[in-house]
Amino acid sequence: MSGLHDAFASVLAAGRRQFNARAAEARHQYPALDTAAFAAFLGTAVDPVVAAVHAVDAPRVAPVAVVAYEMALELVGQALAGPGARVGVVDRLWQAVAPRYARLIAAQPREVLGALSNAAIAVAKVEDARVDEWLAGLAALAPRVDTLSQLRGIGQVLAWRAGLAHFRAGAIAAADGLPEALALAAVDATGSWSATRAALLASPWACDDARRRALIGGLAVGRFTGFGGSFAEPPEVKAVTDGFLISSGERYAFLVADAFGAVLHPATEEEYRAAGAANPRASAPAVKGSQLVLNGHSFATGLPERGLAMTWNAHTVAAYSPWSFTIRVAPLA
């Protein structure tokens, strides 16, 4: 295969019989395996990883190349990588992020490449996740990461901050296990981790001023299923302590929202019916036509004025309408 780094090409040439045998096995295991896509992934994604390992730990090139070759067969065979993959994030991860973790990959190739690839696939599955932001964060923090455990930790923290709101509690717990400087860098904060942690735990809407300004107007959640959204009918919403339960036709969902995103999870009719009122304030947020008034600021909900309804818990208000498939969530304070 032309164009490969010399070290990778040498490993492939020396083990041609074994590599060909493994590829033949993979074709039986994955009948839809596209050999052209596999070859492209080797050249554009595996090669940069092997080249990066060669630069930092040349004696480890052969074992890393073997592991990466086998993982490439699995990923392309399942249409998770290569041209035509269901998601393109794995290719971008191997091309631009994984080489930055060459020292970790040299020591634990299957574990590190597996952790990165699985995390990328999981993040990409979440609707509205900011995958590019997650990848950029991983790349930027690479020089600070010394262990696989730290890599897993920052991956979770960055995924939360890239829109996976349901990761919030786990991400803060993961940050607790990181060196203080790395934990602060992962959440883009300064000062002490203990103070930052306390602020994050105090409110799901805790964030820096730039993010706060971006949140004026809240977050829009859900669309009509006919346009690739989540709701077949305009949703009805109930507030609960840590989120919102939603009914839409015969489907039910649990909505988790914070400063970095909003995620819908499946729920049951029983959970929705059993939910009681969670509105803890004596007075409701003010409404002016189709606008909400929060903390002295008015903003358009983007929802019809007719039938506009609200429900809220201790930290978040959700506005919805029988004439819309969208829910608008915003911080109360």
Domain ranges of the chain: 1-125, 130-202, 219-331
Between 87 and 107, the higher pLDDT residue: 107
Q: Which two tokens stand for residue 32?
A: 């839809």
Q: Residue 6: what pLDDT?
A: 96
Q: H or E segment at 245?
A: strand 243-248
CA distances from 321 to 134, 143, 286, 288 (A): 33, 48, 16, 15
Q: Residue 279: what pLDDT?
A: 61
Contact 116, 97 (CB under 8 A): yes
Q: What is the pLDDT of residues 148-176, one digit of tens each?
A: 999 999 999 999 999 999 999 999 999 99
Q: Residue 187: what pLDDT?
A: 97
Once rounded to an integer, what is the mean pLDDT over residues 10-22?
96
Q: What is the pLDDT of residues 226-250, one digit of tens each?
A: 666 789 999 999 999 899 999 999 9
| Banded pLDDT at 282 (limits 50, 70, 90) | very low
Burial class (CB in 10 A: 0-12, 13-18, 19+), 281: exposed
Q: How far is CA 97 from the centre of its chain?
A: 15
Inform me whether the pLDDT recorded for 1 exceeds 60.
no
Contact 113, 71 (CB under 8 A): yes
- On average, the pLDDT of the chain sits at 93
Separation between Cα atoms, residue 161 and residue 137, nearest integer Å = 10
Q: What is the pLDDT of residues 103-132, one digit of tens each?
A: 999 999 999 999 999 999 999 999 899 999
Residues 6+ apart with CB under 8 A from 319: 218, 292, 301, 303, 308, 309, 310, 327, 328, 329, 330
